């Protein structure tokens, strides 16, 4: 049953169920009512009322000198109680002006970079400390992280670079056949996979898989005060949470890269034999003579740097979590975007350096 209002002469009759579910269109009707000195409000037909209904009634007659008659004692008490509540209007916190927002964002970015720098310093110190005291290295979390970040990523990293190898060979095929230079598909696939795509693709996959997991894990542990509990027991979160992740990724990412290289070249090789009539033996012969070892080493050499970037960013963003679930989500997003961005920037810097030293 709904709430309704009737106007009979100078009498306003209120009736029905003045509850949150019954008063949908009441608000507008009440605002339109012609309250004046002579109107009387009769409320004897109100059958049910909750605080929302009581407030609506109180709000409507507020400021008018009206008497409400016929209100049931329980309902009258409710209206009285609602009216008596301390509803002192608190000014909403002012939203910031554009200049202030800009300043705050800039300051936050600066202090974040500072925090990141000091985090890198702390992590390096902890790493040196661990190398100096190898007995204190925590192997168990390292193994666990190796499994999650390394072994479990084999399938997806292998599959993606295999497909990438196929795509490169396929795209190159048309151009190469036009010049009768079919055999150069080996150079195309080999160099691009080994030097650039293998390491980059693997790093991006790992950043998405493991960097986000690092942030979410540490962030959630921070929300549930597990990180603080660790500190009170005398275990440094740096040693227990951060170092194993960095060490594990430093080991896992180069290995994954080698694996991705193999799978990528394999993909290219299969495509080459299908589309370009380059047999497997020709492919492997050409590969041995035209791709220098340096191409492979340049690619794999980048992997530890990418690993350090992903692990440090992932852990740092985890420690930046404050508050609750919302913040965990925000920092995880930030972690993935930042680590992929930094990986690509680092890759660009490597390219410049390598071209300067002519590798």
Which residues of the chain form contacts with another protein (CB under 8 A)? 19-21, 23-25, 27, 50-52, 55-56, 59, 74, 77-78, 81-82, 85-90, 92-93, 322-327
User: Token digits for 311?
Assistant: 């692990």
Nearer to another protein, 3 or 205 (CB): 3
Least distance CB 43 / another protein (angstroms)? 18
State which residue, 76 or 255, has the beta carbon closest to another protein. Answer: 76
Contacts 24+ apart (CB under 8 A), 329-336: 331/215, 331/219, 332/212, 332/215, 332/216, 332/219, 334/215, 335/211, 335/212, 335/214, 335/215, 336/207, 336/208, 336/211, 336/212, 336/215
Cα-based distances in Å from 70 to 31, 42, 78: 21, 6, 14
Is the Cβ–Cβ distance between 300 and 306 less than 8 Å? no
Residue 86: CB minimum distance to another protein, A: 6
DSSP 313: H
* Residue 154 CB, nearest approach to another protein (Å): 34
Q: What's the closest the beta carbon of residue 2 comes to another protein, in angstroms?
A: 12
Take residue 188 and report the two structure tokens written for it.
Answer: 């195309």
Judged by beta carbon, residue 87 or residue 98, the one nearer another protein is 87
In whole angstroms, give the CA distance from residue 351 to residue 196.
9
What's the min distance (Å) between Cβ of 110 and another protein?
Answer: 24
Nearer to another protein, 52 or 250 (CB): 52
Dihedral sign, CA of 315, 317, 322, 325? negative
Secondary structure (3-state) at 162 = helix
Nearer to another protein, 53 or 264 (CB): 53
Q: Which is nearer to another protein, 85 or 102 (CB)?
A: 85
The token duo for 96 is 């910031």
Of 216, 222, 164, 213, nearest to 190 by C-alpha is 164
Query: What is the spatial distance between Cα 60 and Cα 178, in angstroms, rounded to a whole number?
Result: 84
- What are the tokens at 117? 């720098």
A 10 A CB-CB count for 184 gives 17
Alpha helices in 62-97 (DSSP H): 73-84
From the CB of 324, what's the least distance to another protein, in Å? 3
| 286 touches 183 (CB < 8 A) | yes
Residue among 53 and 299 whose Cβ is closer to another protein: 53
CB of 31 to another protein, least distance (A): 10
Q: How far is the CB of 20 from another protein (least distance, A)?
A: 5
Nearer to another protein, 93 or 288 (CB): 93
- Minimum distance from residue 232 beta carbon to another protein (Å): 19
Instruction: Considering the complex, state which of residue 2 and residue 209 has its C-beta at the smaller distance from another protein.
Output: 2
């Amino acid at each position: 049953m709904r709430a309704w209002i009737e106007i009979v002469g100078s009498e306003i009759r209120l009736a029905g169920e003045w509850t949150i579910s019954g008063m949908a269109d009441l608000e507008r009707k009440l605002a339109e009512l012609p309250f004046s000195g002579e109107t009387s409000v009769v409320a004897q037909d109100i059958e049910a009322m909750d605080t929302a209904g009581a407030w609506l009634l109180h709000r409507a007659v507020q400021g008018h000198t009206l008497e409400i008659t016929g209100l049931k004692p329980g309902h009258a008490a409710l209206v009285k109680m609602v009216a008596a509540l301390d509803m002192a209007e608190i000014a909403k916190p002012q939203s910031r002006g554009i200049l202030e927002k800009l300043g705050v964002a800039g300051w936050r970015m600066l202090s974040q970079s500072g925090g990141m720098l000091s985090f890198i310093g702390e992590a390096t110190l902890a790493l040196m400390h661990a190398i100096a005291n190898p007995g204190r290295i925590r192997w168990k979390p390292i193994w666990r992280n190796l499994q999650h970040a390394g072994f479990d990523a084999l399938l997806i990293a292998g599959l993606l670079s295999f497909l990438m190898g196929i795509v490169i060979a396929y795209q190159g095929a048309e151009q190469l056949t036009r010049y009768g230079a079919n055999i150069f598909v080996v150079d195309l696939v080999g160099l691009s996979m080994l030097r650039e795509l293998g390491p980059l693709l693997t790093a991006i996959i790992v950043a998405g898989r493991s960097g986000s997991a690092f942030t979410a894990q540490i962030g959630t542990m921070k929300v549930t005060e597990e990180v603080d509990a660790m500190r009170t027991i005398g275990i440094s979160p740096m040693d227990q949470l951060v170092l194993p992740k960095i060490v594990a990724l430093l080991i896992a990412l180069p290995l994954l890269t080698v694996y991705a290289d193999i799978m990528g070249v394999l993909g290219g090789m299969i495509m080459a034999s299908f589309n370009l009539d380059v047999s497997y033996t020709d492919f492997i012969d050409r590969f041995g003579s035209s791709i220098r070892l340096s191409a492979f080493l340049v690619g794999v050499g980048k992997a530890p740097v990418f690993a350090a970037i992903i692990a440090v960013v992932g852990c740092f963003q985890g420690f930046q979590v404050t508050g609750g679930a919302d913040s965990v989500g925000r920092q995880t997003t930030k972690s993935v975007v930042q680590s992929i961005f930094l990986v690509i920037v680092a890759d660009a810097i490597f390219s410049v350096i390598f071209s300067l030293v002519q590798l």
